[in-house]
Amino acid sequence: MTDGPSYKERKVITIGVVSELTGLTERQIRYYEERKLIFPERSPKGNRKYSFADVEQLIEIANKREEGVQTFEIRQEMLKSKRAEDRKFRKELLRGEINARFGIQKD
């Protein structure tokens, strides 16, 4: 088994397939990329490649847009969530360093 990204995170799905899976047009998907809500990779030929996680994110974005949430608000929410995840990770890392330093064993 490889240590690379999980199947859910691997960027292998084309924009056409993503469009079929989400019900969004290719133009809508590109717009969400322009608004920095989704981050596809590019193939050597420049084609966008998405992951299953990206598909799920696009469905969430589409649902929020249907509820009237603006793309700016969605982006702010994503940034807030990312900062919270980063804080949690740093806190766990610090706790591990303290435990290692003082020989504290976790049950």
Domain ranges of the chain: 1-69, 70-107
> pLDDT at residue 23 above 70?
yes
- Please give the mean pLDDT across all residues of the chain: 91
Q: Enter the pTM of the model.
A: 0.73
pLDDT of residue 94: 87
Q: Which residues lie below 8 Å from residue 18, measured CB to CB, with a gap of 6+?
A: 24, 29, 50, 54, 55, 58
Fold of 1-69: Multidrug-efflux Transporter Regulator; Chain: A; Domain 2 (1.10.1660)
DSSP reduced 3-state for 50: strand
* Predicted pLDDT at 2: 58
CA–centroid distance for 84 within its chain: 14
The answer to whether 74 touches 37, Cβ cutoff 8 Å, is yes
pLDDT tens readout for residues 33-65: 999 999 999 999 999 999 999 999 999 999 999
User: ∠ CA(20), CA(26), CA(29), 5° rounding?
Assistant: 100
